[in-house]
Amino acid sequence: MRTAIVERKTRETEILASVDLDGTGTHDIDTGIGFLDHMLESFSRHSLIDLKVRAQGDLHVDFHHTTEDTAIVIGAAIKKALGDFSGIRRFGDILMPMDETLTRVAIDISNRPYLIWKVVFNRPKIGEMDTELFREWFQALAQNAGICLHIENLYGENSHHIVETCFKGTARALREAISVDERLEGAVPSTKDTLSDDK
């Protein structure tokens, strides 16, 4: 079973995340940030990762710590559930449309985290959430899941649509990358024969 539970507690946040990589996209999300909950529900549904998140953070300060730390814990849980990365397809990519918006996402589960973020918003906020926080979320996800993640918004006008294609696109690319390729017969998809932290 490719499942994991990760908890993280700091002076700023207390977060629990559980994942089942072979789920059906069921979700139970409560971060205290309505728009982030909406995006994480979409992420779960389109990745088919069962996802439970409970987050308590210093929202009286701002949304930054809760947003970033939520991605830290989700990313760590995904990496833990992947184990030694054996048998997975490793790569995934998609062009994600939504009305007037089109976003390209590509993923390499390489255990060499990196984020390329070519996304510009024409509004400083969506609801009460600062749009600059979305880059922080994806950066923390990539870093803690051990993935190389490229996200490029090719065009679009509506900020809600733009960020939603980023989450849905990442979900669908990740769904492809974490899927098991039976032809690998459990081998690690690397010429090094390992993607572990110590190599």
Q: What is the pLDDT of residues 14-36, one digit of tens each?
A: 999 999 999 999 999 999 999 99
**Each residue of 129-138: b (16+ CB within 10 Å) or e?**
bbbebbebbb
pLDDT of amino acid 93: 98
- The answer to whether 60 touches 36, Cβ cutoff 8 Å, is no
CA distances from 157 to 1, 71, 136, 169 (A): 41, 26, 21, 17
- For the record, the structure tokens of 49 come out as 């990762």
- For the record, the structure tokens of 33 come out as 């940030």
- Place 1 in a pLDDT band, splitting at 50, 70 and 90: confident
- Place 183 in a pLDDT band, splitting at 50, 70 and 90: confident
pLDDT of amino acid 193: 54
Q: Does domain 3-184 have CATH number 3.40.50.720?
A: no
CA distances from 172 to 94, 123, 166 (A): 7, 26, 10
Q: What is the pLDDT of residues 73-112, one digit of tens each?
A: 999 999 999 998 988 999 999 999 999 999 999 999 999 9
Please tell me the distance from the alpha carbon of residue 179 to that of residue 15, in angstroms, as a whole number: 27
What's the start-to-end Cα distance of the chain, in Å? 25
pLDDT of amino acid 190: 57
Strand bridging mode 129-130 / 101-108: unpaired
User: Mean pLDDT in the chain?
Assistant: 93
pLDDT of amino acid 198: 45
Q: pTM for the complete prediction?
A: 0.93
pLDDT of amino acid 187: 66
Report helix, strand or coil for 127: coil
- Place 184 in a pLDDT band, splitting at 50, 70 and 90: confident
In percent, the amount of the chain with pLDDT more than 70 equals 92
What residues contact residue 47 under an 8 Å CB cut-off, 6+ apart? 25, 170, 171, 172, 174, 175
- Residues composing the chain: 199
- For the record, the structure tokens of 35 come out as 């728009």
- For the record, the structure tokens of 139 come out as 């950066």
Report helix, strand or coil for 168: helix
Q: Is 197 a residue whose pLDDT tops 70?
A: no
**What DSSP assignment string belongs to 52-97?**
EEEEEE-TTT-SHHHHHHHHHHHHHHHHHHHTT-TTB--EEEEEEE
Tell me which residue of 23, 16, 102, 26 sits closest to 55, measured CA to CA: 16
- For the record, the structure tokens of 143 come out as 């870093």
Where does 119-186 show beta strands of DSSP type E? 125-126, 129-130, 148-155
pLDDT of amino acid 199: 44
